[in-house]
Amino acid sequence: AALWCVLPAAGIGQRMAADRPKQYLPLQGRTLLEVTLQRLHQAFPASPLYIPLHPQDHWWPAAAERLQQHCPNLQLVPVPGGQERADSVLSALQALEGLAAADDWVLVHDVARPCVTPTDLHNLWSQLHHHPVGGLLAAPVADTMKRSDAQNQVLGTVDRQQLWHALTPQIFRYGLLKAALQQALQQGLTITDEASALEAAGYQPLLVTGRRDNIKITHPEDLPLAELLLQSQQQ
Ligand code: C5P
């Protein structure tokens, strides 16, 4: 089965409060988006990258041109993004109609996670490519976890043995993922990752242990942290 990559990049990065969408903030002398896309391309050189973009995104053409110069064999397919992340992913899946077979794989990775390592990408693929459904990179929770009421008063401690941080990439069979996302959106469910759509449809995605430093750039202080993490990975 073929592997198709989807890298949602249609968010506006509101929590970043920057002068541009967060995926175009500088990282390693380039942009966050370029660093992430190049990592995915290096891990899966034969897979085209489908990129949901905001309709008013005027930063994309220059970034795409620089990427294409770096990686001449990279196949970039921009598609229109949607209101929420799940709509953006579904838009890419619709663009794959007629190209992808039902049991092909779709890998979805947040452009906002530039620190994913080649090793984690390799582990995810090698542990899942015979799985009937799919799964995701996830990191075991290290802190003690509390549940609270609305006034921040502790109601109890949650057993962390079975708690994980859900990361990306997540990879699922094309047919299952498209049906699950469509169904979840029709039902008005809040879907913040692909796995939750599959779960709502009754499937059990597999968790593949990944590194905790595969952080999602969300707040301004995350960017210098990503810079340090990338530097330390290159040593
Ligand atoms: O906002 P958040 O950090 O959860 O976004 C995760 C990823 O989803 C980002 O890469 C962002 O660009 C993308 N996204 C999208 N379409 C949206 C909202 C977010 O492609 N409507």
Q: How confident is the model at residue 177 (pLDDT cuts 50, 70, 90)?
A: very high
Tell me the best of 88, 219, 223 to mutate to test the pocket of ligand 1, counting ligand atoms within 8 Å of each CB and taking the most. 88
How many angstroms is it from 160 CA to the middle of ligand 1? Answer: 27
How many angstroms is it from 11 CA to the middle of ligand 1? Answer: 4
Task: Examine the pLDDT at 65 and tell me if it is beyond 80.
Answer: yes
Residues near ligand 1 (Cβ within 6 A): 8-11, 23, 52, 81-85, 88, 110-112, 216, 218
The contacts of residue 145 (CB under 8 Å, 6+ apart) are: 157, 158, 159, 160, 163
Please give the biggest Cα pair distance in the chain. 55
pLDDT in tens, 1-51: 999 999 999 998 778 778 889 999 999 999 999 999 999 999 999 999 999
Bridge-partner residues for 80, per DSSP?
53
CA distance linking residue 190 with residue 54, whole number of Å: 20
pLDDT in tens, 81-93: 999 999 999 999 9
pLDDT in tens, 87-132: 999 999 999 999 999 999 999 999 999 999 999 999 999 999 999 9
Query: What's the whole-model pTM score?
Result: 0.96
pLDDT in tens, 152-170: 999 999 999 999 999 999 9
Query: Could you tell me the residue ranges of all domains in the chain?
Result: 3-146+158-233
Bridge-partner residues for 173, per DSSP?
105
Supply the residue whose CA is at minimum distance from atom 21 of ligand 1: 84
How many angstroms is it from 153 CA to the middle of ligand 1? Answer: 32
**Position in ligand 1 atom list of the atom nearest CA 110:** 10
- The residue behind tokens 């620190």 is 115
- Burial label, 73 (beta-carbon count in 10 A; 0-12, 13-18, 19+): exposed
73 and 45 Cβ atoms separated by less than 8 Å: yes
**Position in ligand 1 atom list of the atom nearest CA 89:** 20
CATH superfamily of 3-146+158-233: Spore Coat Polysaccharide Biosynthesis Protein SpsA; Chain A (3.90.550.10)
Q: Rg of the Cα trace of the chain?
A: 18
How many angstroms is it from 83 CA to the middle of ligand 1? Answer: 10
In the numeric block, which tokens belong to residue 90? 């579904």
216 and 113 Cβ atoms separated by less than 8 Å: yes
Distance of CA 233 to the CA centre of its chain: 20
How many angstroms is it from 85 CA to the middle of ligand 1? Answer: 5
How many angstroms is it from 7 CA to the middle of ligand 1? Answer: 9
CA distance linking residue 201 with residue 161, whole number of Å: 25
